[in-house]
Amino acid sequence: MQAAVYTGKGVIALQTRDNPRAGADEVLVRIHAASICGTDLKILRGGHFRVGPDETRVLGHELAGEIVEVGAHVGHWTVGQRVSVVPNIGCGHCAMCRKGLNNMCPDYRAFGIDIDGGFQQLMRVTPAALYGGNLFEIPAGMNYEEASLIEPLSCCFNAWKDLAVTPLDRVLILGTGPIAGMFLQLAKAYGARQVIVVGRRAARLAEIAPLGATDTVDSSAVDVLDEMQRLTGGRGVDVALTCAPAPELQVQAMAALARGGRMNFFSGLNKGTTVQIDTNKVHYWGLKLLGSTGSSIQDYASALQLVESGQIKVTDVVTHRFGMADAVAAFDHALSGQGMKTILYPQEARL
């Protein structure tokens, strides 16, 4: 089989490997769609604390495929079932795992990080993933590309559910990547009265706005906070999400919040970066400053329903698709920052 392998900082190599086999407590999945995420790019740049710059790993944690082999001890799952996975596998016995928060487990393992992931033609689903409830059957009517994007949507949903958005709310989304796109879709699905997206490139704003924005703000052309005041009639926004790893966006989001405002610092900053907070504003205005990382199995199940029901058209964030022969080009493309979501189709040579 072929695999696109991270072989050290900055390098993805297309390799031919022996076909893996399912162990007695595993299933083997033929990967049909795997989406490139900012986390994959972070690893590729050598900036992820769990993947060393000299390690070798098949990246990819946003994936979907079809079961082609089932281990002797495995019940329920059968050859031919279409499946996707929740990538973060909790230890199963810590306080976070006991609450069902596999994404908060300090000892988690994850596909595409500690375990070979989706950018290969065949992937083993480990016993811990199988028995931890990380494998999902794809509902009838949902295609592999949609299923591969449930994972990033589930991370968005994890942040979103705590913001308690209603049709009364004005929502601010800072950033123009696929995560920003998914938050626009959520804001629209939840009926937010106003959805403002901020970016620094006009072309990206034009690309992302149809996903659900009522207003766009080009931060290279106007003062974001002045424009926020103008667009909201001086009220500020009720909800804000930062979707790019820039400290100035966090500052802008906090400054733009109205009384009773809620926000989520969704994109993490580089390690060691800090941002000043006006705690008097938090105190007197009753702000809720939240964070979240990854998604639990429950978040994943919720995101799956949002796509299955047609409320979120998750593939609308996809702008580029590549076959396996062009896997290296797919990463180069994603690294260049063009377009929103890039999908690899491991069973196709070229698209």
Bridge partners for 348 per DSSP = none
Q: Which two tokens stand for residue 163?
A: 């913001």
Instruction: List residues binding Zn ion (CB under 5 A).
Output: 37, 39, 90-91, 94, 97, 105
Contact predicate 2/121, CB 8 Å: yes
Q: Work out how close the CB of 225 gets to Zn ion at its nearest, in angstroms, rounded to a whole number.
A: 30
Taking the least distance from each CB to Zn ion, the nearer of 37 and 257 is 37
Q: Which two tokens stand for residue 193?
A: 């009265």
Taking the least distance from each CB to Zn ion, the nearer of 39 and 264 is 39
Q: Work out how close the CB of 243 gets to Zn ion at its nearest, in angstroms, rounded to a whole number.
A: 13
Q: Work out how close the CB of 201 gets to Zn ion at its nearest, in angstroms, rounded to a whole number.
A: 22
Taking the least distance from each CB to Zn ion, the nearer of 147 and 224 is 147
- In angstroms, rounded to a whole number, what is the distance separating the alpha carbons of residues 128 and 132? 6
Q: Work out how close the CB of 66 gets to Zn ion at its nearest, in angstroms, rounded to a whole number.
A: 21
Instruction: State the angle between helix axes of 178-189 and 150-161 in degrees (0 to 180), rounded to the nearest 10.
Output: 60
Taking the least distance from each CB to Zn ion, the nearer of 77 and 108 is 108
Alpha helices, H only, the chain: 38-44, 95-98, 127-131, 144-148, 150-161, 178-189, 202-208, 224-231, 247-256, 279-285, 297-308, 327-335
Taking the least distance from each CB to Zn ion, the nearer of 68 and 94 is 94
Q: Work out how close the CB of 166 gets to Zn ion at its nearest, in angstroms, rounded to a whole number.
A: 28
Kindly report the number of other CB atoms within 10 A of residue 332's CB atom: 11
Residues 136-162 as b/e (b if ≥16 CB within 10 A, e otherwise) read bebeeebebbbbbbbbbbbbbbbbbee
Taking the least distance from each CB to Zn ion, the nearer of 65 and 90 is 90
DSSP, residue by residue, 142-157: --HHHHHTHHHHHHHH
Q: Work out how close the CB of 157 gets to Zn ion at its nearest, in angstroms, rounded to a whole number.
A: 13
